[in-house]
């Protein structure tokens, strides 16, 4: 039996529905570029960095753009995303997530956040949950985005817990892969088919219970 000592949460789509805001902003950009982004295609944009998401999107639409143009498009998308985010209220945290984090801490587990987003710190500030985490790693602190394991290894390092004792919560295929490559266990949040490599899949984050820790 593996003893879990730390839980590391992804943010977008695991703690709050900012994954939807990313989708809306990317879809708007695709629309301006003359093609449609479907929810299914959007799965490939999840979890990876802003520029990588953009590159995948441009490839999907068959759009060729210079580095300068890509920079401009990424900034545009980020501006729209920030407009959605700035209207967010603390109540928009997914139901039961604050309770789950509280239960983990009450049971002696450390809790970290590892998000590819450079907006992660602003989002947790708006949700009033910054103080819930023992360590926070965002997109500005890493070189290699998910599915590279760097983000989770850095979080484990800051939490001072060895990777094999860490459990990651992820809604993105790239994130599940990153967690497994880091040598951690992973709970997928969302669709079984998409997240089939995770050790366990729940439809919603708060469906996970501390008693589930024993059968991972
Ligand atoms: C991830 C999202 O958390 O952050 C991706 O799943 C997003 O969709 C990435 O592209 C980067 O976010 P940001 O806020 O730095 O553009
Ligand atoms: Mg996510």
215 Cβ partners below 8 Å, 6+ apart?
Answer: none
Among 30-34, 152-156, 183-187, 211-215, name the one with the lowest average pLDDT: 211-215
Q: Which residues line ligand 1 (CB under 6 A)?
A: 12, 19, 22, 45-47, 49-50, 53, 78, 115-119, 139, 172
- Which three-class secondary structure state does DSSP give residue 123? helix
Which domains are present in the chain? 6-16+94-215 (3.40.50.1000), 18-85 (1.10.150.240)
pLDDT at site 2: 63
C-alpha to C-alpha distance for 151 and 4, rounded to whole angstroms? 18
Looking up tokens 């060729």, which residue turns up? 64
Could you read off the pLDDT of 112-156 as tens digits, one per residue?
999 999 999 999 999 999 999 999 999 999 999 999 999 999 999
The rounded Å distance from CA 107 to ligand 1 centre is 31
Ligand lying nearest the CA atom of residue 169? 2
Instruction: Tell me if the pTM is above 0.75.
Output: yes
Radius of gyration of the chain (CA): 17
The rounded Å distance from CA 189 to ligand 2 centre is 9
Alpha carbon distances (Å) from 141 to 115, 117, 211: 10, 10, 33
191 Cβ partners below 8 Å, 6+ apart?
Answer: 201
Q: How confident is the model at residue 215 (pLDDT cuts 50, 70, 90)?
A: confident
Q: How confident is the model at residue 214 (pLDDT cuts 50, 70, 90)?
A: confident
Read off φ and ψ for residue 93, nearest 5 degrees: -60, 140
Q: Please confirm, yes or no, whether 134 is among the known catalytic residues.
A: no
Q: How confident is the model at residue 1 (pLDDT cuts 50, 70, 90)?
A: low
Burial of 126 (0-12, 13-18, 19+ CB in 10 A): buried
Q: What percent of the chain has pLDDT over 90?
A: 96
The rounded Å distance from CA 34 to ligand 2 centre is 26
Q: Please confirm, yes or no, whether 215 is among the known catalytic residues.
A: no
List, in sequence order, every residue forming a beta bridge with 9; answer none if it has no partner: 113, 169
Q: Closest residue (by CA) to atom 2 of ligand 1?
A: 47
Ligand lying nearest the CA atom of residue 13? 2
């Amino acid at each position: 039996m593996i003893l879990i000592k730390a839980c590391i949460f992804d943010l977008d789509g695991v703690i709050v529905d900012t994954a939807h805001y990313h989708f809306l902003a990317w879809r708007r950009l695709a629309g301006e570029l003359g093609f449609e982004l479907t929810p299914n295609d959007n799965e490939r944009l999840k979890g990876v960095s802003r520029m990588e998401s953009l590159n995948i999107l441009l490839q999907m639409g068959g759009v060729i753009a210079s580095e300068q143009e890509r920079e401009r498009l990424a900034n545009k998308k980020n501006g729209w995303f920030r407009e959605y985010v700035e209207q967010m209220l603390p109540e928009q945290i997914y139901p039961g997530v604050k309770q789950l984090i509280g239960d983990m801490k009450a049971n002696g587990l450390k809790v970290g956040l590892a998000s590819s987003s450079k907006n992660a710190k602003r989002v947790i500030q708006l949700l009033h949950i910054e103080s819930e985490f023992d360590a926070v790693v965002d997109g500005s602190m890493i070189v290699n985005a998910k599915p590279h394991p760097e983000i989770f290894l850095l979080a484990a390092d800051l939490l001072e817990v060895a990777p094999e004792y860490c459990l990651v919560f992820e809604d993105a295929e790239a994130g599940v892969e990153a967690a497994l490559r880091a040598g951690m266990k992973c709970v997928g949040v969302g669709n079984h088919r998409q997240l089939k490599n995770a050790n366990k899949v729940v439809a919603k984050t708060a469906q996970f219970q501390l008693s589930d820790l024993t059968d991972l």
